[in-house]
């Protein structure tokens, strides 16, 4: 039987399309504006004529960014922080979430303690004193370890493992596997969706986490790219640096700031298409208890 497209259905479809188009415009227009500013010359940016189309094409901002030693070093630091932080967080949350998804003694107490930390924490000063007391200041571990277990992500993983079929694990137990072998040989290979979703969350979190680097790192050579971009946006110190020479005559602060933002968001845009399918599926599987 064919579905008859009533007037109400057609009206709903039109409104839905218009609403989605409005959302897409609200998301994309700021990026298009930044892209146009980053490719425009100094006179056009200063006069405020640039909107969504570049005026007076100028690539000096991108040339300066990708040859500046501190920015290149910042990209490397951000990649290291993001990679190490994501791997450690996935490992720690997995070995915490899997046991808590089972009916073990004291499970409700541990989950309650996790829920409490979602609403209350020790604060910045006690955390800083703890990191300093452990001798982690100005190290990679000061950025990675305080954020290695996120309560919200942990609860999603717990719900996902609770929905995992028990008969698969029981069959593995009969075959002689212990719980650790079941987790790493059976459960995790079948949990690619939730792992991909958590990986995307963690990658974005660590990549954008400039504030912890500002608090815990004292050596500029260890700054990640997001902290360097933040410094550019705040003071644009690079505009007056001796590296530019004659290349800066057509380069404005606005184009440098816009180019820095576009260069740092590009890796995230390149990552999303590869994990989008698993991301949507993993969030739905972990959000509802089966």
How far is residue 242 CA from its own chain's centroid? Answer: 33
Q: Which CATH architecture has domain 66-287?
A: Orthogonal Bundle (1.10)
Residue 278 tokens read as 């698993």
Q: What is the DSSP string of 164-225?
A: S-HHHHHHHHHTT--HHHIIIIIIGGG-HHHHHHHHHHHHHHHHT-HHHHHHH---GGG--H
DSSP characters for 27-86? HHHHHHHHHHHHTS-HHHHHHT--SSS-SS---HHHHHHHH-HHHHHHHHHHHHHHHHHH
Parse the chain into domains and list their residue ranges.
7-47, 66-287
Q: Helices 253-287 and 225-235, interaxial angle, to 10°?
A: 140
Q: What is the dihedral of CA 223, 224, 230, 232, to 10 degrees?
A: 70
**Please, are residues 10 and 24 in contact by the beta-carbon 8 Å criterion?**
no
CB 150 within 8 A of CB 93: yes
pLDDT at 33: 87
Handedness of CA 191, 197, 201, 206 (dihedral sign): positive
The per-residue pLDDT for 238 is 46
Given a cut of 50, the residues of the chain with pLDDT beneath it are: 1-3, 236-247, 286-290
């Amino acid at each position: 039987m064919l579905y008859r497209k009533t007037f109400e259905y057609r009206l709903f479809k039109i409104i839905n399309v218009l609403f989605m188009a409005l959302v897409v415009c609200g998301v994309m227009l700021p990026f298009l504006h930044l892209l146009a500013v980053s490719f425009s010359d100094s006179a056009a940016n200063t006069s405020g004529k640039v909107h969504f189309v570049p005026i007076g094409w100028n690539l000096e901002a991108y040339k300066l960014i990708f040859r500046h030693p501190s920015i290149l070093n910042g990209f490397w630091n951000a990649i290291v922080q993001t990679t190490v932080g994501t791997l450690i967080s996935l490992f720690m949350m997995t070995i915490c979430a899997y046991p808590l998804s089972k009916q073990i003694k004291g499970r409700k107490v541990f989950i309650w303690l996790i829920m409490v930390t979602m609403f209350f924490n020790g604060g910045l000063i006690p955390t800083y004193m703890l990191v300093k007391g452990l001798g982690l200041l100005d190290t990679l571990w000061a950025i990675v370890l305080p954020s290695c277990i996120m309560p919200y992500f942990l609860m999603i993983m717990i719900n996902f493992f609770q929905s995992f079929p028990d008969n698969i694990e029981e069959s593995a137990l009969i075959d002689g596997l212990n719980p650790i072998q079941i987790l790493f040989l059976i459960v995790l290979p079948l949990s690619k969706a939730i792992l991909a979703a958590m990986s995307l969350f963690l990658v974005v979190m660590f990549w954008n986490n400039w504030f912890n680097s500002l608090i815990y790192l004292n050596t500029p050579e260890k700054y990640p790219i997001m902290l360097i971009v933040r410094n550019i946006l705040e003071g644009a110190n690079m505009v007056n640096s001796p590296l530019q020479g004659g290349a800066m005559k057509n380069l404005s602060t606005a184009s440098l700031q816009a180019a820095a933002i576009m260069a740092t968001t590009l890796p995230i845009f390149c990552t999303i298409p590869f994990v989008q399918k698993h991301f949507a599926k993993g969030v739905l599987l972990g959000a509802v208890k089966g």
